[in-house]
Structure 1
Amino acid sequence: MTKTPPAEPIAARKRLSTAEREQQIVQGAIRFFSDRGLDGQLRDLAKNIGVTHALLYHYFPTKQALIDRVYVELFEGLWKPEWEQILDDPALDAHTKFTRFYCDYAKAIFRRDFVRILVFSGLSDRYIPDRFFVLLRERLFPRLIRETRRHCGVVSRAKPSARELELLMGLHGGIFYIGLRRWVYEQAVHGAEASEHDETYICDRVQGYLLSVKDVLYAEKPAAKAAKTSRTRSA
């Protein structure tokens, strides 16, 4: 008679600490929302993560509380103080500042979960893009406009104009569009295998912006230039 081998002992399930369990839920929520959007039901989320609905509510009593935590983890948490230091460094020229910032920024935002959750929220309540753009308007865009003006020899501390911001958004949005094509439209970025060419494309966009911005925004108008020439001649 053949003896049945003894059963393998069942490994004890690791008991997670409060912090570990919360992080498990948050990371699971990020994956879930990036797949299904922010309208996904928490009961389905709990099942997807492998926790009970009651346990999920113990950590996050409301869905909004969980979305707030996802925002802090995925969006606010990506911001690096070093980016501001790069943009504020008087020893660097505008091209170096823009390329260093955007190449590193792109590594943070060219993620499936970041891109898709931002878009999903924009299509529903706009809560996450509204909060994220407040951060950008306070900590990023004024610095980029300041450096743009310096690059063009413009001495001004005036509030950024609508035209300045819109031209800048052509650069900023164009870079984000690489991630949008990859993770929403699921279309290959031209000539790119994975992300190996992202830095090249970003450098091209920065170069294009800095080469054109003076002629587009700060070039002297013909009438003003003619008047200035006339005054010079009469003097």
Structure 2
Amino acid sequence: MPSIRKNPSAQQAPAPVRRRMPPAEREQQFVEGAIRFFSRHGLDGQLRDLAGELGITHTLLYHYFPTKQALLERVYKDLFEGRWRVEWETLLDDNRIELPEKLTQFYVSYAKAILSPEWVRVFVYSGLSDRFITDRYFALLHEKLFPRIHRQTLKHLGSRSRKPPTEREMEQILGLHGSVFYMGMRRWVYGLGSNLEVSALSEIDAIYIEDRVMAYVASLQLKKAKS
């Protein structure tokens, strides 16, 4: 009986060779997965559950991040500190640009960088937990942002004062900053507003930011007129 010859093309193709990921690349993959995990489950989420979502063993995750705090340190560095841009400081220090235009340019760029669902939700969850991330981030803002806004505000008002902001002045600055952050809160925490499926800042959002800046500048002029 003649033997049946198999069609070589019908033979099962060899399984693809899985690429061995370099340690640094694998670690970054774990961090990105942790950011998504914490944005959904909060910072009280357990690393064992995170490992399950990543499809790895808890032991492997522990090899890269021996403690949860070590992982949160990396999340803060990548998601928060890593998104701060030196060019924002240059923009805010540029005395050739008037305050309304300067603040609008800054906050439009800033909002595009931070108002993602992961950024907003991890930040809120941190505030409801041990405030490790929120405290560190506000320290960054008090060092790099708020003093610059205060100096440029005084310049806009024609003041040469070098005093630190009063409590009332600081409250005005925080009000402006918080109003921009609330745009992300409304979208990614409350589920309100337009373009809910789009993480990028829309054109209409940029207009709203300009409105907030102009309200801040108007309040300065009103305060100056009353003094």
Query: What TM-score does the superposition give when structure 2 sets the normalisation length?
Result: 0.91
C-alpha displacement at 1:192, in angstroms?
Answer: 8.5
Q: How many angstroms apart in 2 are the aligned matches of 1:153 and 1:182?
A: 38
Equivalent position to 1:137, from 125, 130, 142: 142
C-alpha displacement at 1:184, in angstroms?
Answer: 0.4
Specify the code of the residue in structure 1 equivalent to 2:206: E
Q: How many angstroms apart in 1 are the aligned matches of 2:163 and 2:81?
A: 27
Q: How many angstroms apart in 2 are the aligned matches of 1:219 and 1:172?
A: 23
Specify the code of the residue in structure 2 equivalent to 1:125: D
Q: How many angstroms apart in 2 are the aligned matches of 1:33 and 1:206?
A: 32
C-alpha displacement at 1:220, in angstroms?
Answer: 4.6
Q: Is 1:76 paired with 2:84?
A: no
Q: How many angstroms apart in 2 are the aligned matches of 1:90 and 1:69?
A: 36
Q: How many angstroms apart in 2 are the aligned matches of 1:145 and 1:34?
A: 32
Does the 8 Å contact 2:104/2:209 carry over to 1? yes
2:190 is aligned to 185
Tell me the SS of whatever aligns to 1:185: coil
**1:193-204 map, 5 Å:** 194=198, 195-196=201-202, 197-204=204-211
In structure 2, relative to structure 1, the CA distance for the partners of 1:114 and 1:145 (3 Å cut) is same
Equivalent position to 1:211, from 192, 207, 218: 218
C-alpha displacement at 1:6, in angstroms?
Answer: 2.0
Q: How many angstroms apart in 2 are the aligned matches of 1:157 and 1:88?
A: 15
2:97 is aligned to 92
Q: How many angstroms apart in 2 are the aligned matches of 1:30 and 1:14?
A: 24
Tell me the SS of whatever aligns to 1:10: coil
Equivalent position to 2:61, from 56, 62, 71: 56
Q: How many angstroms apart in 2 are the aligned matches of 1:115 and 1:75?
A: 10
Alignment size in residue pairs: 219
Specify the code of the residue in structure 2 equivalent to 1:198: D
Q: How many angstroms apart in 2 are the aligned matches of 1:121 and 1:51?
A: 25
Does the 8 Å contact 2:92/2:102 carry over to 1? yes
Q: How many angstroms apart in 2 are the aligned matches of 1:192 and 1:6?
A: 48
2:179 is aligned to 174
Q: How many angstroms apart in 2 are the aligned matches of 1:11 and 1:193?
A: 35
* Deviation string, structure 1 residues 58-97 (Cα, Å, up to 9, x no partner): 1100000000000000000011000000011121111121
Q: How many angstroms apart in 2 are the aligned matches of 1:220 and 1:198?
A: 32
Structure 2 regions of 5+ residues with no counterpart?
none
**1:106-117 map, 5 Å:** 106-117=111-122
Q: How many angstroms apart in 2 are the aligned matches of 1:219 and 1:162?
A: 19
Tell me the SS of whatever aligns to 2:12: coil
Q: Is 1:65 paired with 2:77?
A: no
Does the 8 Å contact 2:187/2:196 carry over to 1? no
Identity %: 54
Equivalent position to 2:48, from 43, 49, 58: 43
Q: How many angstroms apart in 2 are the aligned matches of 1:117 and 1:192?
A: 18
Does the 8 Å contact 2:116/2:184 carry over to 1? yes
Structure 1 regions of 5+ residues with no counterpart?
222-235
Q: How many angstroms apart in 2 are the aligned matches of 1:204 and 1:12?
A: 55
In structure 2, relative to structure 1, the CA distance for the partners of 1:76 and 1:193 (3 Å cut) is closer
Q: How many angstroms apart in 1 are the aligned matches of 2:49 and 2:76?
A: 20
Query: What TM-score does the superposition give when structure 1 sets the normalisation length?
Result: 0.88
Tell me the SS of whatever aligns to 2:15: coil
